[in-house]
Amino acid sequence: MEAAVLGFTAKWKANPPREVAAYGEHQITLHGSYVDLAFRSGAASVLLLPRGDPEALLNMVDLLVLTGGGDPDPSIYGDKPVAPPGTERERPLWDIRLYRAARKGGKPVLGICLGMQLMAVAEGCGLIGDIATELPGALDHHGKPESPQRHPVSVKPGSVMAGIIGTESEVSSFHHQAIRSVPPGYSACAWSPDGLVEAIESEDGMALGVQWHPERDRTGVPLLEHMLGVAGKGRVS
């Protein structure tokens, strides 16, 4: 049986100004933990480079995976007219194009951290700009790359997510923003102890978003295997 193919979105890292002429404005990269997750799930993987027609790119893959990354420019979701330092615009806009093309074309989507946030933004929702500032008393959802935060999530009984990871799980968390509301066509299906929405699932069963990083915890393989099943691709050992 031919292996399923995951299409990952990339992390964009700005090159120093002195290097732009030689190397372009960005380095396009992907953390190896995503590649390892694909391998553990029995799938092949490709990087969806930010050029060309999103629909044509998606024709090459069985599942779109929107990966984590930096904060999107708030002007994308109508929050602030001027982008705060350190926010990104080009990458979120490209990932949103891929997401919309996937939904239009009936391609399954898994959104991870920033990926889930961009799913909500693409559907017209805003983001909580900083959890600690806007929600005093909330958990520390951020942690550090060398020691990611871990916290429990409660999953809605009877939801698709509960069928994948059960009604309770511990997840690896590395974010300081969150979706402000559940996008239309979706329902919330998991929450952290402070009440933040940690996962959403689409009414048509074709898209899941998780605020945590499943490539760093036990939820990754079950999530990918489920979404590959949605795509009609079984596991290949």
Catalytic residue among 88, 113, 198, 226: 113
Query: Burial, 212: exposed, middle or buried (Cβ in 10 Å; 0-12, 13-18, 19+)?
Result: buried
Whether 189 is catalytic? no
Strand boundaries in the chain, DSSP class E: 5-8, 11-14, 26-29, 44-47, 63-66, 109-112, 127-128, 143-144, 147-155, 168-173, 178-179, 186-191, 197-202, 207-210
Length of the chain: 237
Whether 125 is catalytic? no
Q: What is the DSSP letter of 50?
A: S
- 3-state SS, residue 2: coil
Say which amino acid occupies 129: G
Catalytic residue among 31, 151, 175, 213: 213
CA dist 140 → 77, 143, 147, 220, 227 (Å): 24, 7, 12, 22, 29
Catalytic residue among 31, 215, 225, 226: 215
Q: Which residues are catalytic?
A: 113, 213, 215
